[in-house]
Chain A
């Protein structure tokens, strides 16, 4: 079959994160996260980014690669992502010297990793999650994009690709505190780096898309069971990175200290009420109605 459409190559960068769901997360007595007792999983935003890559596979037959930086256990994040997006290639960027990296030094590794993706061409779209639920900076994605020289599109809630023209159309959700929200539609030539908004949902409307969805989902399941066959582990040397640009040496920032946030001075003086005392509760309710008085039309 003659076709003029070009193949689409996509990649997803993911992160292994503490599992904040009940029963898996453990907090210390002072309210801080107990990392030793808390399990790790594919981060929820990474999962959404994986879904967005799967959309490209179903809709455009894209080839999908997934990459993560981390210690050997981060493999499990790759496996979980493969189950979601039927990845053709899994990358673990792992080297002792990567430890302690800030976002700029992490982006350096991810940039090198993306350029090692196989599949006969350059990666057209890189997806990342909105932000990690533990680090929460949201900086690594855009910094990787910049180092790659890809157009960065943030807070993307929907996207489509025109393979003929090589253009992406995306909808972005912009929230500015103290202002209204804006949905913006933007068009950009490939390659692009898309950070996916938490509210992203993929829709498959046509019969052929639904059939492709089922086929790739089935394939994803069997691939994830044998994920090691798809896995490549790459270190500094294999990635061809200057060791001065990664890990602690490559990080402009350091964590200087960690302290407990001091208890703020009480801003109000609370009256304490016994929650089982009906009279006291009745009085609180009377207060509430007083405050809300304007609610009732007199």
Chain B
């Protein structure tokens, strides 16, 4: 029996044909999910990559090696750079196209995709929102775990309080801002007769750096379908005048060490940040922070505030992912989101008075103590042991 809703569509992001890492990560997770799905339901639903751009044919082939069964692409000079308005329209046209889906599946009943994935970054976060507003369905953001299940749901509105079975439901797990709670979001049809309505696709944006891409396999075969979009002249009045690549003032990549701090600075924020920055300077480290610090929870002087308590320095799923040779976490408890941003680091040291902090399971050395006591000792030792062979001028 064919369904109105089929397949998992993954919206790919790229820069001039180079896929952004989250795109390949999404394809990997899509592959794993749909392999399980097809086995469980004895079906043959596809992982479908959707690509907008200009001269993207080579990228399409690559996406098949990374797990796509089919790639739908729209190629036009008008699509070289991302513009939310036309991108939303083209992606929505593609999602609704029975003709396109017919190139890789039996689509006699096809209306829309069953599931849809986007990357949770500056492009995908907004694009997912507008596409799902256009497709009039549900969207969960910043997901880091996905499960497909048959669920029995009893809901005041969705089912009018009756227990009903929802098959092939995508459980979308989303860590909350504290990093301690996981919320599972479902996108469900309204089956309550008073408000009856179908909601598909079930869609989400996925946190970069969470899922693993599959090993690319050049022997994988798939279908590549071109979609020729129709543009509304008025929409093309949105024009990109200029694009500049910028380097952040915060540079984690070229430093061998990173010192980051969290809410543990609270007893004397100003002094502690100064102490940490002195420590970082001593080992030529870049300074990072945990997400709560970027919300500026402590009053500090303007200079400290604008230098350190800024989103650019956040390490974790809401910020940068780092992997220095030496990582030092000062007064950071180790919420999951932070760990995701630093777990690839080399030698890792934590300074924390609480031995029950989750960070203890993520470090090589756990220095139990208050930063106010520990860092001055470290500084003293660093200066004492500083290698005697210096650069001679």
Contact = CB atoms under 8 A, between A and B. Distances in A.
A292 B266 contact: no
Given A264-B339, A270-B360, A253 B139 contact: yes
Contacts of B284: 295
B142 A252 contact: no
A270 B22 CA distance: 31
A30 B182 CA distance: 13
B96 to A, nearest CB: 16
A134 B317 CA distance: 16
B133 A264 contact: no
A271 B335 contact: no
Contacts of A183: 243-244, 246
B20 A177 contact: yes
A284 interface: yes
A85 interface: no
A3 interface: no
B247 to A, nearest CB: 7
A275 B377 contact: yes
Interface string A139-183: 111110111000111110000000000000100011111111111
A281 interface: yes
Contacts of A152: 84-85, 126, 130
Interface stretch (B26-34, B51-59, B378-386): B378-386
Contacts of B138: 102, 104, 251-253
A239 interface: no
B373 interface: yes
Nearest to B317: A177
Interface in A117-153: 133-134, 136-143, 145-147, 151-153
A137 B142 contact: yes
Contact of A177 (B21, B178, B283, B368): B21
A260 B335 CA distance: 12
Contacts of A251: 138
Nearest to A146: B133
Contacts of A104: 132-133, 136-139
B180 interface: yes
Given A143-B129, A185-B242, A295-B256, A177 B121 contact: yes
Contacts of B22: 176-178
Interface residues of A, number: 96
A248 interface: yes
Given A177-B121, A270-B366, A285-B381, A249 B182 contact: no
A272 interface: yes
A137 B350 CA distance: 31
A253 B178 contact: no
A180 to B, nearest CB: 5
Contacts of B129: 103, 138-143, 146
Interface string B172-190: 0001111111111111101
A294 to B, nearest CB: 7
Interface stretch (B4-12, B100-108, B154-162, B219-227): B154-162
B316 to A, nearest CB: 11
A69 B253 CA distance: 42
B122 A176 contact: yes
Nearest to A253: B138
Nearest to B366: A270
Contacts of B238: 151, 186-189
Contacts of B234: 189
A178 to B, nearest CB: 4
A291 B346 contact: yes
A257 B155 CA distance: 12
A96 interface: no
A236 B83 CA distance: 34
A33 B121 contact: no
B368 A151 contact: no
Contacts of B181: 32, 258-261
A107 B133 contact: yes
A139 B125 contact: yes
Contacts of A174: 82, 122-123
A178 B20 CA distance: 7
Given A151-B85, A152-B84, A298 B184 contact: no
Nearest to B347: A291
A286 B23 CA distance: 41
B387 interface: yes
Contact of A258 (B137, B183, B363): B183
A21 interface: yes
Contacts of B209: 177-178
B122 A256 contact: no
A33 B321 CA distance: 25
Interface string B325-340: 1100000010110010
Interface of B: 13, 15, 20-22, 81-85, 88, 121-123, 125-126, 128-130, 132-134, 136-142, 151, 155-158, 171, 175-188, 190, 192, 194-195, 197, 199, 208-209, 234, 237-248, 256-257, 266, 283-284, 292, 295-299, 310-311, 320-321, 325-326, 333, 335-336, 339, 343, 346-351, 355, 358, 360-370, 373-374, 377-378, 381-382, 384-387, 389-391
29 contacts: A20-B292, A20-B296, A21-B299, A31-B179, A32-B178, A33-B178, A104-B139, A136-B142, A153-B84, A154-B126, A175-B122, A178-B22, A182-B244, A184-B240, A186-B240, A249-B192, A254-B158, A254-B185, A255-B184, A261-B175, A268-B362, A270-B360, A275-B370, A275-B377, A282-B384, A288-B283, A292-B325, A292-B326, A298-B389
Given A104-B132, A143-B129, A270-B363, 7 more contacts: A21-B295, A173-B122, A252-B136, A252-B188, A256-B186, A268-B363, A284-B349
